[in-house]
Chains A and B, each alone.
Chain A
């Protein structure tokens, strides 16, 4: 079975500072990894994904993440945050199996709070 751990439930940061949201996963099979963002009273928006290839993936809004297979991590980073980045961020994993299509396992979420 797969599992995802987001190591920080809340991350406060000042505007224009860098930020890292940490995510570790556990799986005995190959995985695909995702970061989603959720703004208040909205659904989830896909920020970025790791499916294969380069371990450094770039997403929308200036975010990037690095897949580290040996550390089983997929940390999300942004070099300079804005007030508008205040939201909840979810790390998710799914297995590379066609028959298991559609099942994302989510972490508990990290609430990013950007202060002026």
Chain B
């Protein structure tokens, strides 16, 4: 079974621009979560989607948004990029409805550099 895939793997953007990152979950996984990883703040939860609805959200400004499609694929968008948005963005997927739903499986991440 294929793992979680994220595209693109690397991105370089300029301050003020916006960016869209994509995540395809493991087949059969219907929950998708997003995390930001930086050297200073570590791994921080951004948001989680299930059944095309945002079910939980972390403490990030409204410039960070996401959505989920009917096939469970998810995208996250960051508008008006700031230098501090430079990070590794990780997507994770999980099953829903059993205790196994708490196990999250991560993709390789998208490395975003804002200049």
Report A's interface with B, CB cutoff 8 A: 32, 34, 36, 42-46, 49, 51-52, 90, 92, 94, 96, 98-109
Q: Per-position contact with A for B68-80: 1 when CB-CB < 8 Å, else 0?
A: 0000000000000
Indicate if the CB atoms of A34 and B103 lie closer than 8 Å: yes
Contacts of B107 in A (CB 8 A): 43
Q: Per-position contact with A for B91-115: 1 when CB-CB < 8 Å, else 0?
A: 0101010011111111111000000
* Interface size of B in residues (CB-CB distance below 8 Å): 30
Q: Residue B55 contacts which of A51, A99, A105 (CB distance < 8 angstroms)?
A: A99
Label chain B's interface by main secondary structure: strand
Known A32-B102, A51-B102; contact A102-B43, beta-carbon cutoff 8 A? no
Q: A51-B102, A92-B43, A103-B58 are in contact. List 20 more A-B contacts (CB 8 A).
A: A34-B103, A42-B109, A43-B90, A43-B106, A43-B107, A43-B108, A44-B92, A44-B106, A46-B105, A49-B102, A51-B99, A52-B99, A96-B102, A101-B50, A101-B55, A101-B94, A101-B96, A102-B104, A106-B42, A107-B42
